[in-house]
Structure 1
């Protein structure tokens, strides 16, 4: 099964100021993208997990990156390297989404073992994890393969979208 991927992030802002005889504008942009072919080496990926998930109030889940997640065809996915990770909290959420710091076997190569990242409702985070190289972010089955996602409060459920692109070797 072949996988072709484009991982992209983009930001644009334009600062403007009214002057006596016109206006001045300073557009600023940052665009990064990586195209990955099918495979496991540098510039390649062969696994993808994409899902919309909901967590009950105060709930959390540990996504096992090595052998438990299923792809769109129902096959188990074992990531050895993560090349891109994108998570988006639904704008309609009341609570925040907290990413990272699994109690055991934490996938620590992005946030370290105890680090967390908080996404407010409507926020999105994307990491092109060294996607063009062969190393990317390592996943170690049974030792460092749990990505924790948690609902920050007990009042309402949270919904989020997740997209992970990586390689099996």
Structure 2
């Protein structure tokens, strides 16, 4: 099955200050967009996982990037390289969604083995490798393939959306 995929991040801001006779402005526009053609080589991806997931209060889950996640057609996905990652914590969350620090076989290519990133309610993370990057973020089946996602606190569940784009070789 061919896969065409892209990930974009955009920032727009306009800082202004009212002066006596005019308004000074400093407009800013920054955008990064990466598109991958279908395949396993440089500038290519052939696997995608997407889901909306909910974690009970104080719970966590280990997402196995090599052979356990299922694609939209129910086929098991084995990522060898991650090219794009998107995670968004639901606006209605009370607790944070915490990414990283799996107890064993951590996917350490992004945050190291023990690093974490907390996504506050409504926060999003978008990460894309460049199309000239031959490696992406490596996944090593059995020793470096677990992406841990956790709920930072007690009392309420959290919901998050996740999309992982990568290559099988």
TM-score by length of 2: 0.98
1:39–1:33 CA distance, 2 compared to 1 (3 A): same
Residue 71 of structure 1 is matched in structure 2 by 71
Give a deviation string over 1:105-164, Cα, whole Å, max 9, x none: 000000000000001000001111345422000000000000000001111000000000
- 8 A Cα contact 2:7 2:126, kept in partner: no
- 8 A Cα contact 1:36 1:45, kept in partner: yes
CA distance in 2, matches of 1:89, 1:131: 27
TM-score by length of 1: 0.98
CA distance in 2, matches of 1:80, 1:51: 20
Structural mapping, 1:48-63, within 5 Å: 48-63=48-63
Give a deviation string over 1:26-74, Cα, whole Å, max 9, x none: 1112100011100001110000000000001111000000000000000
Structural mapping, 1:131-142, within 5 Å: 131-142=131-142
CA distance in 1, matches of 2:161, 2:127: 14
Structural mapping, 1:34-113, within 5 Å: 34-113=34-113
45-54 vs 10-19, greater mean Cα deviation:
10-19
1:165–1:131 CA distance, 2 compared to 1 (3 A): farther
Residue 128 of structure 1 is matched in structure 2 by 128
CA distance in 2, matches of 1:16, 1:30: 18
Q: Structure 1: which 5+ residue stretches go unaligned? A: none
